[in-house]
C-alpha cells in the first residue's frame, strides 16, 4: 500500500460552494471521467450543523496501460481508499488517498 499527501491551494473563478457541489456530484460515478469506474461509501459523518462532512470511499479506476503491462503487474484496475473532509466553515477540503492495489 502507498500513501501520498500533497497540499494544494487552488484559485478558482467560481465560489468554493459551487466547486464543492460539482466535486461531490462525481460520486459514485461520473460520465465525464471515463477512467473513474465507481466508488462505494465505507463511512460517512456529518456534523449536526452540517458544516463538517467526512466521507470515506473505496474507488476503482481503469488503468491506462498496455495489456501486457497490466498482466505483468497483475492489475486491470486500481483500487484506492479516499477520505474527504469538507469543512464549510473554513472553506477547506482535505483529501487523503491510499492505494490498495500496489
**By mean pLDDT, which of 3-7, 17-21, 72-76 is the weakest?**
3-7
Report the predicted TM-score, pTM, of the whole model to 2 decimal places.
0.77
- Percent of the chain having pLDDT more than 90? 35
Q: Tell me: the pLDDT tens digits for 51-98?
A: 999 999 999 998 777 777 777 777 788 899 999 999 999 988 888 989
Q: If pLDDT is split at 50, 70 and 90, which confidence band does 5 have?
A: low
Spatial CB neighbours of 81, under 8 Å, sequence gap ≥ 6 = 42, 56, 57, 58, 59, 97, 98, 100
pLDDT value at position 54?
97
Amino acid at each position: 500500500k502507498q500513501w501520498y499527501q500533497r497540499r494544494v491551494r487552488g484559485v478558482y473563478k467560481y465560489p468554493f460552494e459551487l466547486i464543492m457541489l460539482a466535486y461531490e456530484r462525481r460520486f459514485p460515478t461520473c460520465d465525464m471521467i471515463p477512467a473513474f469506474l465507481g466508488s462505494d461509501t465505507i463511512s460517512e459523518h456529518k456534523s449536526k450543523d452540517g458544516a463538517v462532512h467526512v466521507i470515506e470511499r473505496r474507488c476503482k479506476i481503469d488503468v491506462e496501460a498496455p495489456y501486457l503491462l497490466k498482466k505483468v503487474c497483475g492489475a486491470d484496475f486500481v483500487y484506492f481508499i479516499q477520505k474527504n473532509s469538507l469543512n464549510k466553515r473554513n472553506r477547506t477540503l482535505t483529501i487523503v488517498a491510499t492505494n490498495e492495489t500496489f
